[in-house]
Amino acid sequence: MTTPLIALSRQLLGFNTINPPGNEHACMAFLASHLEERGFEVSLLPFGENRTNLVARLPGDTQGAPLGFTGHLDTVPLGQQQWQYDPFGKDIVGGRLYGRGSSDMKAAIAAFIGACDAQRAAIRAGTGVTLWLTGGEETGCDGARALLESGLAGTAPGALIVGEPTANYPVIGHKGALWLRAETTGKTAHGAMPELGVNAIYLAADALQKIQHFSPGPDHPLMRHPTLNVGRIHGGLNINSVPDRAVFDVDIRTAPNLSHSDICQRLHHHIGEHIRLEAQVDLPAVLTDPQDPWIQAVFALCQPLHGTPLTPRIVPYFTDASLLLPALGNPPCIILGPGEPAMAHQTDEYCEVNKLEQAQSLYGEIIAGWMKDPMASSA
């Protein structure tokens, strides 16, 4: 039997929001109508052709900060491997809902919308909820950045839940991301007379040799060691010319104890001042105090779903919380979603149906607790 939760999840998966190009507008417009029918005040906020963010508010009758939820509707490409199951949400097999974005993270959005609907009376009697639904997260939080630049982020929440995939394990933070483009400049010449040119690929190769021995900085007690990876390289236009330009892209994942500007300065000095470095993505790490009362309350609600005692954890991927939290006053934040972390970006991505149902119930309990006494949860 198809429940409203499964139906909404499959409807969201049915929209092709692969980024690039994103094309989130149709999916956001559908959700805007769905939320308005349930009493939400909704704003659709375009940030490009067929690119849209959505802010929805279900106000309460009690003064105080609302509870916040956030999630993104864009997904990564399908990849080169053939999918066994339909990537747009038609297949439920063996208790798994298949589709691109099922774990990362459309099913979580369906779950917290369903939880808000189920808890509508409590929300109306309490301080309300606000949903920030974004596009463009997968390419560096483009939608969240546009949302904040528009000045339409809305009322700051007392706490924020990010529905990224954690298999319903409460996570208190994630690493920061610093994506750099390095460019080397040479001098072109005929490939038969290379002595007349300066080969930009050789300059890049020399820098890449050095970068393997560069450390972004010391370990963090919880996030452990920062990482560095060169993920892309390009140079030259044709085989019989000396290339006068080469670029390579560097992905650095950091912790709160590291300064991105300091990393850039040290890396620039390490690989050579003649190499141009430009930041493509600059997102700070996120970390909430595990002793925060609301975090402790969420851990207590999650504990029955897990066989061993919960401990503070972080995830290596970034989320829109990197940008939203500073703009919203840095409330306590938990990353909590039904998706399988290992299934994000994978061929035949799926979300376990039982975890999706657990997530809706769990979000509902968190909402009910907040509406009953938000100060007790967050003081």
CA-derived radius of gyration, the chain: 23
Dihedral, 311, 315, 321, 323 alpha carbons, nearest 10: 130
Q: What is the pLDDT of residues 90-147, one digit of tens each?
A: 999 999 999 999 999 999 999 999 999 999 999 999 999 999 999 999 999 999 999 9
| Those residues with Cβ within 8 angstroms of residue 37's Cβ, 6 or more apart along the chain or in another chain | none
The pLDDT > 70 percentage for the chain reads 98
For residue 162, what pLDDT band results from cuts at 50, 70 and 90?
Answer: very high
Residue 92 structure tokens:
């439920």
277 touches 220 (CB < 8 A): no
Q: Which one of 24, 74, 117, 164 is the catalytic residue?
A: 74
Torsion of CA 362, 172, 101, 82, to 10 degrees: -120
Q: Which of 91, 104, 137, 349 is the catalytic position?
A: 137
Three-state DSSP class for residue 8? helix
* Cβ neighbours for 373, distance < 8 A, ≥ 6 positions apart: none
Question: Cis before residue 20, ω within 30 degrees of 0?
Answer: yes
Q: What is the pTM for the complete model shown? A: 0.94
Q: If you ran DSSP here, which 8-state letter would residue 105 be given?
A: I
- Hey, what domains does the chain have and what are their CATH numbers? 4-174+285-378 (3.40.630.10), 176-283 (3.30.70.360)
Catalytic residue check, 278: no
Q: What is the pLDDT of residues 236-246, one digit of tens each?
A: 999 999 999 99
37 is catalytic: no
At residue 205 the predicted structure's pLDDT band, cuts being 50, 70 and 90, is very high
Instruction: State residue 374's pLDDT score.
Output: 78
Q: Using CA atoms, how far apart are residues 264 and 201, in angstroms rounded to an integer?
A: 21
Average pLDDT of span 314-335: 96
φ/ψ bin of 74: left (φ > 0), alpha (ψ from -120 to 50), beta (otherwise) = beta
pLDDT at 1 over 90: no
List pLDDT tens digits, range 292-316: 999 999 999 999 999 999 999 999 9
Euclidean distance between CA atoms 268 and 273, whole angstroms: 6
Residue 376 confidence (pLDDT) above 80: no
